[in-house]
């Protein structure tokens, strides 16, 4: 999860009056549960293109089947066994392939710490089953990178539209806000996620 404090909150509040209101309304978001890059990748692959509810159900079943997500625990199962709990065959193949590649050293997640954000995303995108959005979410929430702002994230875009009262959100407008919030775009995204999920009318 993203670790941040008053410095980052004050910076963002000073850049945008709407963001200042969001921060004042929601306060500081607490640090979440730590995950390894490997376990987070498995969780995301299972959940891709599914609702949060369905993704959580399937991840629950996979945890019941394999226990903690590690290369070793995944490789004790066949793709057919993983498919048998309701996960698609393609995703099952991706998960087993990820486990095998990690176990044999083809994927070295320890090296991600020394990479730039762009390098992290590019490295993760080489893994079959991992797209740009998934890679950005790993960079943001698992590695705790502070300057991720994913245009491919529908929840982020939805929160921006709702918070600012936009009718549309062009890529150009999105990029203006990215520049405004840098180097703390990830922190800004937390507030847009919150308002997107908030059932109450905003402002």
Assigned domain for 26 exists: yes
Taking CB atoms within 8 Å and a gap of at least 24, the contacts of 57-64 are 57/86, 58/85, 58/86, 58/87, 61/85, 61/86, 61/87, 62/87
Do 10 and 102 fall into the same domain?
Answer: no
More confidently predicted of 202 and 78 = 78
| pLDDT tens, residue by residue, 154-198 | 999 999 999 999 999 999 999 999 999 999 999 999 999 999 988
More confidently predicted of 203 and 52 = 52
Tell me the percentage of the chain whose pLDDT exceeds 90: 90
Q: Which pLDDT band holds residue 201 (cuts at 50, 70, 90)? A: low
List the CATH number of the domain containing 41.
Answer: 1.10.340.30
| CA 138 to centroid of chain Cα atoms | 5
Of the given ranges (18-32, 81-95, 162-176), which has the lowest mean pLDDT?
Answer: 18-32
Do residues 152 and 189 lie in contact, with contact meaning Cβ atoms separated by under 8 Å?
no
Tell me the percentage of the chain whose pLDDT exceeds 70: 97
Expressed as residue numbers, the domain containing 160 is 6-31+148-197
**Cα dihedral value 169, 147, 120, 94, nearest 10:** -50
Do 127 and 88 fall into the same domain?
Answer: yes
Taking CB atoms within 8 Å and a gap of at least 24, the contacts of 62-71 are 62/87, 68/39, 69/36, 69/38, 69/39, 69/42, 69/43, 70/38, 70/39, 71/38, 71/98, 71/99, 71/100, 71/102, 71/103
| pLDDT tens, residue by residue, 93-140 | 999 999 999 999 999 999 999 999 999 999 999 999 999 999 999 999
List C-alpha distances in Å: 119 to 17, 126, 193: 32, 11, 25
What single string gives the DSSP state of each residue in 75-114? HTS-HHHHHTTT--HHHHHHHHHHHHHHHTTSS-GGGGGG
List the CATH number of the domain containing 10.
Answer: 1.10.1670.40
- Number of domains the chain contains: 2
More confidently predicted of 35 and 40 = 40
Q: Which pLDDT band holds residue 4 (cuts at 50, 70, 90)? A: very high
Do 110 and 171 fall into the same domain?
Answer: no
Do 91 and 117 fall into the same domain?
Answer: yes
pLDDT value at residue 30: 80
Is residue 167 classed exposed, middle or buried when 0-12, 13-18 and 19+ CB atoms within 10 A define those classes? exposed
Do 133 and 155 fall into the same domain?
Answer: no
Q: Look up the pTM and report it.
A: 0.91
pLDDT above 80 (res 199): no
Tell me what the pLDDT averaged over the chain comes to: 94
Do 138 and 41 fall into the same domain?
Answer: yes
Do 131 and 41 fall into the same domain?
Answer: yes
Tell me the average pLDDT across 9-34. 90
Helix 37-47 × helix 52-66 angle, to 10°: 130
Q: Which pLDDT band holds residue 32 (cuts at 50, 70, 90)? A: low
Q: How far, in Å, CA of 194 to CA of 203, rounded?
A: 14
Do 61 and 132 fall into the same domain?
Answer: yes
């Amino acid at each position: 999860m993203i670790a941040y404090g008053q410095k980052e909150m004050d910076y963002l509040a000073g850049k945008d009056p709407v963001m200042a209101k969001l921060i004042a309304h929601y306060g500081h978001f607490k640090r979440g549960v730590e995950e390894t890059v490997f376990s987070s990748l498995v969780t995301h692959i299972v959940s891709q293109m599914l609702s949060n509810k369905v993704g959580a159900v399937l991840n629950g079943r996979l945890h019941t089947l394999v226990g903690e997500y590690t290369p070793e625990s995944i490789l004790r199962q066949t793709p057919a066994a993983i498919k048998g709990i309701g996960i698609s065959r393609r995703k099952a193949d991706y998960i087993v392939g990820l486990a095998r590649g990690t176990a044999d050293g083809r994927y070295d997640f320890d090296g991600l710490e020394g990479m730039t954000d762009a390098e992290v995303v590019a490295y993760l995108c080489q893994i079959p089953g991992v797209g740009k959005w998934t890679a950005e979410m790993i960079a943001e929430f698992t590695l705790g990178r502070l300057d991720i702002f994913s245009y491919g994230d529908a929840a982020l875009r939805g929160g921006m539209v709702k918070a600012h009262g936009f009718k549309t959100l062009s890529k150009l407008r999105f990029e203006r806000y990215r520049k405004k919030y840098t180097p703390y775009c990830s922190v800004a995204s937390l507030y847009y996620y919150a308002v997107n999920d908030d059932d109450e009318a905003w402002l």
